[in-house]
């Protein structure tokens, strides 16, 4: 727990890994719930988290705080080094109102809409602008796959959707102000797509 640049406390929430696959997801959800309860009790403005993706993803799903993944090594120092940085604006626009632009068609039918809905739910995505559909790609039988590409200089990213031989590149306008903060948003979005089982291999 940090207050300005001072470490105010440390709390350990422990668990024993569950090897039984039937109970693994329940165990993960319960463990993440205990971590989330501890976070809520501390009432922080922002949560910075390092470590294994699955518990972090589940913890984030149970919280309504600003939540950022940070590098595993020297996580506290990483946060302290960026204390003066501006925090990213949180968008209050309902997800369904973030979709705009001249191309309204999305590839992938229901799965395509689910991918768009997943990124639209992110608090730092302001607008989603669908691009034209390119049907000249190499065919795939894996169903719809989604991936958010590297941020540009302004912090905006692109959502790449692939469905069979069709590819669609959708522009995501974010509240990030530069490439570095855009990369944080990109990582969050790819985590969300992976959790939704829509993620291309990274």
174 sits in the region (left: phi over 0; alpha: psi -120 to 50; else beta) called beta
92-113 in b/e form (b: 16+ CB < 10 A) is eeebeebbeeeeeebbbeebbe
Within 10 Å of residue 56's Cβ, how many Cβ atoms? 18
> Is residue 37 scored above 60 in pLDDT?
yes
pLDDT digits (tens, 9 = 90+) for 52-90: 878 888 898 888 887 877 778 888 887 888 776 667 888
Kind and range of the H or E run holding 35: helix 21-42
Nearest to 164 by CA among 184, 136, 191, 192: 136
Q: What is the pLDDT of residues 135-187, one digit of tens each?
A: 876 655 578 999 999 999 999 999 999 998 899 999 999 999 999 999 989 99
The number of angstroms, rounded, from the C-alpha of 189 to the middle of its chain's C-alpha atoms is: 3
* Amino acid 84: pLDDT: 63
The CA dihedral of 150, 168, 129, 85, to the nearest 10 degrees, is -10
Cβ contacts of 122 within 8 Å, gap of 6 or more: 185, 188, 189, 192
- In DSSP terms, 3 is beta-bridged to 6
Q: Is the model's pLDDT at 15 over the cut of 80?
A: yes
Residue 202: what pLDDT? 53
Domain residue limits, the chain: 2-81, 95-195
154 φψ region: left (φ > 0), alpha (ψ -120 to 50), beta (else):
alpha
């Amino acid at each position: 727990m940090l207050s300005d640049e001072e470490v105010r406390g440390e709390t350990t929430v422990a668990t024993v890994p569950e090897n039984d696959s039937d109970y693994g997801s329940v165990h993960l959800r319960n463990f993440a719930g205990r971590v989330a309860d501890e976070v809520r009790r501390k009432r922080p403005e922002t949560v910075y988290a390092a470590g294994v993706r699955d518990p972090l993803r589940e913890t984030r799903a149970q919280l309504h705080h600003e939540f950022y993944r940070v590098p595993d090594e020297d996580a506290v120092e990483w946060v302290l080094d960026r204390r003066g940085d501006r925090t990213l604006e949180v968008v209050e626009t309902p997800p369904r109102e973030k979709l705009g632009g001249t191309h309204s068609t999305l590839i992938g039918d229901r799965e395509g809409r689910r991918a768009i809905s997943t990124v639209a739910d992110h608090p730092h995505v302001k607008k989603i602008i669908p691009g034209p559909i390119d049907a000249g790609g190499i065919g795939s039988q894996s169903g719809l796959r989604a991936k958010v590409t590297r941020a540009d200089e302004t912090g905006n990213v692109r959502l790449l959707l692939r469905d069979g031989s069709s590819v669609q590149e959708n522009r995501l306008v974010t509240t990030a102000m530069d490439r570095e903060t855009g990369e944080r948003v990109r990582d969050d979005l790819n985590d969300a797509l992976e959790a939704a089982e829509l993620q291309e291999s990274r």
